[in-house]
Amino acid sequence: AFVCDHTKLVSCNTMATEKKFSLSDSRPKKDRIFLFDVDGTLTIARKEIDSDMKAFMEDLRSKAYVGVVGGSDLPKQLEQLGDNCVNEFDYFFTQNGLVSFKKGQPLASTSIVEFLGEEKLQKLINFILGYLAKIELPCKRGTFIEYRTGMLNVSPIGRGCSRSERNAFEEYDNKTKVRATMVEALKKEFADFKLTYSIGGQISFDVFPEGWDKTYCLPFLEKDGFKEIHFFGDKTYKGGNDYEIYTDKRTVGHSVKNPADTRAQVTAALNA
């Protein structure tokens, strides 16, 4: 099941940029920004941001510049953070920064199909579908590959699974390493494609060109003069989709356990 969401992305971009941007520029430290992962950091995985976090982020925006960097596409981030979220952060990076916004306005973007070319992309997709057809899982649903502008998101169980099936797959994967095993097979098969594989969330992993991990967003911030970039994320272990940016020398990395821990660590960083 291959899903291309170009049309949906364009409509969401249009909706987001039509709304007025009203963030204050009178924050204490002009070269400091707090940058956040989404799943497991601002929200419970794939759930909407709760009222406590919304209030906390609103207060934080009066004290520091704030940004979001997630692997998901814009429609999914709108679902989790709200229809106006693009305008509620100074920087809003979707798909690791391949589709990005500054003060509500879109920045330049690129795509994985431009990088690989159609022939190589189809070889990759066909291998993934063939691999998934051969493995047995407790259950499978729909949408096993989701095309995003800067990456492919691959889900062995399928993104159409229910919340309970999602939770059950995460437990199963922790024991059997379904995703990690598949990633190793892809690395071996496509060693010359210059791709990176990053496990994130509960049910999937991302495939994208080398260097297109979450560190892709950092040059945008460096260009605008930010020298103290605090990053908060939960998948900070090697192989997790926050690892590269968490360990990057340009950031101050904070490994969090959940949204409540995020609030506690942000407060500590503000008071340091």
Active site residues: 37, 39
Q: What's the residue count for the chain?
A: 272
Coil, strand or helix at 272: coil
For residues 144 and 142, what is the distance between their CA atoms, to the nearest angstrom? 6
For residues 33 and 90, what is the distance between their CA atoms, to the nearest angstrom? 9
- Written as one string, the DSSP assignment of 130-191 is HHHHH---S---S--EEEETTEEEE-SS-TT--HHHHHHHHHHHHHH-HHHHHHHHHHHHTT
Cβ distance 246 to 233 under 8 Å? yes
